[in-house]
Chain A
Amino acid sequence: QKEVEQDPGPLSVPEGAIVSLNCTYSNSAFQYFMWYRQYSRKGPELLMYTYSSGNKEDGRFTAQVDKSSKYISLFIRDSQPSDSATYLCAMSAVDTDKLIFGTGTRLQVFP
């Protein structure tokens, strides 16, 4: 079993939809949670960064962490075609700066 599981998609939604992307994990030591966006032929770009449980909002993006369920989510409101990319979750424990990545979910937002 992988430490971090992420549905590969593709997830196809119409413009303006609310998108929900999710990851589950098995290591209860994870405390830092990140979401990266990766466009084709580009490196991953940091979108959201959270510590421990709770919500964090940044513009159209909201990150949620539920440590009791070992489940994290990224919500995108009013999705745009420019949001079409692969979204990677990543996490790390307090005793390391090594990040463990999910395999990524490919999102397509059509006009």
Chain B
Amino acid sequence: DSGVTQTPKHLITATGQRVTLRCSPRSGDLSVYWYQQSLDQGLQFLIQYYNGEERAKGNILERFSAQQFPDLHSELNLSSLELGDSALYFCASSPTGDLRGQPQHFGDGTRLSIL
């Protein structure tokens, strides 16, 4: 058990809809990362938050947004969903955003299926 909790485990919805994925980091971790994993693209970095502030952006679509709350949990919001958004979405956490090269610990993901 990595200590990173993601809910829900599975989400089924339709095109055009909006969903929210939730992540609770390991106790004491200040940084939260979001990744998308699909069969053909591998694990793609979306966005990082550190102690409530956006820290780095990756290949995140404008239809997607995230935030980190004062209690350090994070939410990833996906809107105007398309079939191609079907994927596994992982959250990871690390202790700080100031020490480089810190390993990240992953939750078990949310499987998003768009019908």
Contact = CB atoms under 8 A, between A and B. Distances in A.
Interface in A66-110: 88, 92-104
10 contacts: A42-B108, A43-B92, A44-B43, A44-B90, A51-B101, A93-B100, A98-B45, A99-B104, A101-B45, A103-B42
B101 A43 contact: no
Contacts of B101: 31-32, 51, 92, 94, 97
A97 B42 contact: no
A21 interface: no
Interface string A28-70: 0001101010000111111001010000000000000000000
Range class of the A interface residue count:
20 to 34
Contacts of B100: 31-32, 92-97
A98 B48 contact: yes
A111 B6 CA distance: 34
Contacts of A93: 100
Interface residues of B, number: 28
A32 B100 CA distance: 9
A43 B103 contact: no
Interface string B37-64: 0000011010010000001101000000
Closest 5 CB pairs of A and B: A32-B101, A43-B106, A103-B42, A101-B43, A43-B108
Contacts of B48: 97-98
Contacts of A92: 100-101
Interface string B11-45: 00000000000000000000101000000001101
B2 A97 contact: no
B42 A43 contact: no
A104 B42 contact: yes
Contact of B106 (A32, A44, A103): A44
A94 B99 CA distance: 9
A34 B104 CA distance: 10
Contacts of B6: 43
